[in-house]
């Protein structure tokens, strides 16, 4: 597609697909032309995600991002490190070298949910319930039948309601008795006297579940899978993690990008790679394709853990660049280091059939038996 049809109109989905690196970057960066406010129907507009940071444009986006940014400072990040190490250790400890391990269930799925629950200050007694809600928020339909879609929508609306009530209670507690967690910071943060409303904090908390859990799970599972596919690269990073661990995580993000595409709505007519796209069009920027663009990445289809430079677009680009990227990177470095220490060699289980997640948006495996 990058060579023959870099911009194509998909009749079935009624959207424009953009495949080349430079075009994908343009769509993500040019916020005045490509809007993130893209809800198509009134029902969806009511969902907390449609009103959250990821779905709004400046000036509202600028104000809200500076407020929520206060919970993701480098200082906060440093203080989270020991807590993430503890969670990773607790999950890695029961895993036995030499036996079959389904790593999605045992490690890569629970890790980000437990981390975000801990960082939000959710009491540990509530963490099982929290995980269940988090599953519903990101659940996809089993099939495309109207009954299934309706059932899913109802369950999700009910979950949003339960999460709403739950977070409202936590916010009240944190206002009276602030602790070292994201929700306490959000209730206290202000810029020029502007504060986040309780509704905005709740919407942001729900966004964190959607934006940060499945993505991080897939980064971890995809990178472990790539290590098995390229054992020489695994040996290299394992033998010198101080030198190669960070670049290996970046290559994991590029090579099998957890988020394959992001959508935008055009606010005016625009031309990309010679193709005219009218105002009011849906545009899908395919980061998964951009990250394999041969004109930008030498040997783009090879996993090379020491690739430098590596200007991948896996976390997006421009004003919506992933707010949680430092956290996702830190989680990946901690878990992969723990994994390498415990499993110097590992391979795909012989009984294993690879089942990709059915989505055009997220890229990963439903399970991974090692």
Binding site for ligand HEM (CB under 6 A): 28, 36, 53-54, 65, 116, 207-208, 211-212, 215-216, 219, 258-259, 262, 314-316, 320, 322-324, 327-328
Interior CA angle at 214 toward 347 and 56, to 5°? 150
Strand ranges for the chain from DSSP E: 7-10, 15-18, 34-35, 190-191, 194-195, 261-266, 270-272, 275-277, 282-286
* Number of helices and strands in the chain (H, E): 14, 9
Min. distance of Cβ 186 from ligand HEM in angstroms?
12
Comparison of 7 and 259: residue with beta carbon closer to ligand HEM: 259
**With 0-12 CB in 10 A as exposed, 13-18 as middle and 19+ as buried, what is 325?**
middle
Q: How far is the CB of 351 from ligand HEM (least distance, A)?
A: 28
Q: Which is nearer to ligand HEM, 207 or 370 (CB)?
A: 207
* Residue 323 contacts residue 65 (beta carbons within 8 Å): yes
Cβ proximity to ligand HEM: between 159 and 218 the closer is 218
Residue by residue, DSSP assigns 21-38 as HHHHHHHHH-TTTEES--
Nearest-angstrom CA–CA distance, 136 and 151: 12
Q: Give the burial class of 345: count Cβ atoms within 10 A of its Cβ; 0-12 exposed, 13-18 middle, 19 or more buried.
A: exposed
End-to-end CA distance of the chain: 34
Looking at the Cβ atoms of 58 and 344, the one nearer to ligand HEM is 58
C-alpha 336/C-alpha 342 separation (Å) is: 10
**Residue 54 vs 171, nearer CB to ligand HEM:** 54
- Specify the residue, 31 or 195, whose C-beta has the smaller distance to ligand HEM: 31
**Whole-number minimum distance, CB 222 to ligand HEM, in Å?**
9
Among residues 65 and 267, whose Cβ is nearest to ligand HEM? 65
Distance CA 359, CA 356 (A): 9
Give min distance, CB of 67 to ligand HEM, in A: 11
Q: Select the residue whose beta carbon is closest to ligand HEM and give its number.
A: 324
* Closest separation in Å from C-beta 268 to ligand HEM: 19
> Residue 69's Cα: distance from chain center in Å?
17
Burial of 351 (0-12, 13-18, 19+ CB in 10 A): exposed
Measured from the CB of residue 364, what is the shortest distance to ligand HEM in angstroms? 10
- Least distance (Å) from ligand HEM to the CB of residue 285? 8
Min separation Cβ 58 and ligand HEM, Å: 10
Structure tokens at 148: 């299934």
Cβ proximity to ligand HEM: between 258 and 338 the closer is 258
């Amino acid at each position: 597609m990058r060579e023959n049809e870099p911009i194509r109109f998909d009749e079935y989905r009624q959207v424009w697909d953009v495949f080349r690196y430079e075009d994908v970057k343009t769509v993500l960066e040019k916020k005045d032309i490509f809007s993130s406010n893209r809800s198509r129907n009134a029902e969806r507009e009511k969902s907390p995600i449609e009103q959250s940071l990821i779905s709004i444009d400046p000036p509202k986006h600028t104000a809200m991002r500076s407020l929520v940014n206060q919970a993701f400072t480098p200082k906060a990040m440093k203080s989270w490190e020991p807590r993430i190490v503890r969670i990773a250790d607790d999950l890695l400890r029961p895993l036995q070298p030499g036996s079959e391990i389904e790593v999605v269930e045992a490690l890569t799925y629970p890790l980000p949910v437990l981390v975000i629950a801990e960082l939000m200050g959710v009491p540990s007694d509530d963490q099982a319930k929290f995980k269940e809600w988090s599953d519903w928020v990101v659940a996809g339909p089993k099939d495309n039948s109207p009954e299934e879609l309706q059932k899913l929508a109802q369950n999700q609306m009910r979950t949003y309601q339960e999460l709403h009530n739950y977070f409202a209670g936590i916010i009240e507690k944190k206002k009276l008795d602030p602790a070292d967690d994201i929700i306490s910071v959000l209730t206290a943060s202000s810029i020029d006297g502007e504060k986040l409303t309780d509704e905005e904090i709740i919407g942001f908390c729900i966004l964190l579940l959607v934006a940060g859990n499945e993505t991080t799970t897939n980064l971890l599972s995809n990178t472990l899978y790539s290590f098995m596919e390229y054992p020489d690269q695994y040996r290299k990073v394992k033998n010198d993690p101080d030198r190669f661990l960070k670049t290996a995580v970046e290559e994991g993000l590029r090579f099998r990008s957890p988020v394959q595409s992001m959508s935008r709505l055009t606010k005016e007519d625009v031309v990309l790679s010679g193709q005219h796209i009218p105002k009011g069009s849906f545009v899908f920027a395919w980061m998964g394709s951009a990250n394999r663009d041969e004109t930008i990445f030498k040997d783009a289809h090879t996993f090379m853990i020491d690739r430098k430079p590596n200007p991948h677009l896996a976390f997006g680009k421009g004003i919506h660049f992933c707010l949680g990227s430092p956290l996702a990177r830190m989680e990946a470095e901690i878990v992969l280091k723990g994994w390498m220490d415990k499993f110097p060699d590992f391979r795909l289980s012989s009984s294993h059939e690879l089942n990709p997640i059915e989505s055009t948006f997220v890229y990963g495996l439903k399970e991974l038996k090692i």
